Amino acid sequence: MKIPEIKLNDGNKIPQFGLGLWKIKTYEEIKIAFDSAIENGYTLFDSAQVYGNEEFLGRAIKESKIDRSKLFITTKIFISNFGHKKALKSFDESLKNLDMEYIDLILLHFPVTLLRKKTWLALEEIKESGRAKSIGVSNYTIRHLEEMKKYAKIIPAVNQVELHVFLQQPELIKYCLENNIVIEAYSPLAHGKAMYDKTVSEVASKYGKTYTQIMLRFLLEKGLVVIPKSTHPERIKENIEIFDFKLDEEDMKKLSKLDKNLRTCWDPTLVP
């Protein structure tokens, strides 16, 4: 199955669906998840420096003998590596860990107050060098993105944020759409903290799909990139089986009413 792609503001394309690798700590787990994902048509893999698994992902890719150009690899500069020089050095380390000549997408992991400008300028240098095809941010609010207009020569191609049926962030989605920034939804299943909603269950029954598949399809319908995390082959398969149906307008409206600002990760709205 060919996963749809979304064109970024720099002309590159990102698959609309991928595998998140947060909290996957061993090579054995990465290998199982990677192989299962590849078998089911995934090409986007989302890592980060703080996840501690870049090296494992690189090894799994090498052992698979898959053409590197067929994959879309993301990693993120962690907050302890913010600052111009530290960001450049840590990026070199990420390339070494992944055993790659380039990364498809590099993100700033969080809007660190005093260092985000210098670190973003380092990412611009990395992009210009060709070692990262696209650059973006993660956990940025409208305020942080507006601030970037004062210093950024390159606007972010992607803003990766927590987003799911119970945390819909409509104002942020609208802003990013208007500013040609693609939103990538992490934790799209809310870490399983709201898996008993009656409306979601009813919609799932209507389409003959699972609860999680409805949560994921809802985000696809909004034109977002979606990256659920799993290490279980059966769930990796289930998660991607959402391209054979569409939610109708009435059901989208029902699901839109479930927004309750449920954050299951860190809250960037408190960051000045």
Question: Model confidence over 46-101: pLDDT tens digits?
Answer: 999 999 999 999 999 999 999 999 999 999 999 999 999 999 999 999 999 999 99
Q: The domain that contains 206 carries what CATH number?
A: 3.20.20.100
Whether 211 is in a domain gets the answer: yes
pLDDT of residue 191: 74
Angle (CA) 183-197-168 rounded to 5° is: 20
| CA proximity to 184, closest of 19, 3, 10 | 19
CA pair distance 60, 79, nearest whole angstrom: 26
pLDDT of residue 45: 98
Whether 241 is in a domain gets the answer: yes
Whether 173 is in a domain gets the answer: yes
Global confidence as pTM: 0.96
| CA proximity to 231, closest of 60, 90, 70, 23 | 23
CA distances (Å), 255 to each of 3, 144, 166, 232, in order?
Answer: 24, 28, 9, 27
pLDDT of residue 204: 98
CA distances (Å), 231 to each of 16, 34, 122, 235, 269, in order?
Answer: 20, 9, 33, 8, 30
Percent share of the chain, pLDDT over 70 = 100
Grouping H, G, I as helix, E, B as strand and the rest as coil, residue 106 is strand
Residues in contact with 28: Cβ distance below 8 Å, sequence separation at least 6, in sequence order = none
Whether 5 is in a domain gets the answer: no
What size, in residues, is the chain?
272
Q: In what order do the strands lie in the sheet with 44-46?
A: 18-20, 44-46, 72-77, 103-108, 132-138, 158-162, 182-186, 225-226
CB 269: neighbour CB atoms within 10 A?
A: 14
Boundaries of domain holding 53: 12-261
CA pair distance 138, 4, nearest whole angstrom: 22
Percent share of the chain, pLDDT over 90 = 94
Whether 6 is in a domain gets the answer: no
Catalytic sites, residue numbers: 51
pLDDT of residue 196: 87
Whether 161 is in a domain gets the answer: yes
Tokens encoding 52: 């501690």
Stated as kind and residue range, the H or E segment containing 182 is strand 182-186
Whether 66 is in a domain gets the answer: yes
pLDDT of residue 194: 73
Half-sphere exposure of 107 toward its Cβ, with a 13 Å CA cutoff? 25
Residue 2 has pLDDT above 90, yes or no: no
Question: Model confidence over 220-266: pLDDT tens digits?
Answer: 999 999 999 999 999 999 999 999 999 999 999 999 999 999 998 88
Domains held by the chain: number: 1
pLDDT of residue 270: 87
pLDDT of residue 265: 83
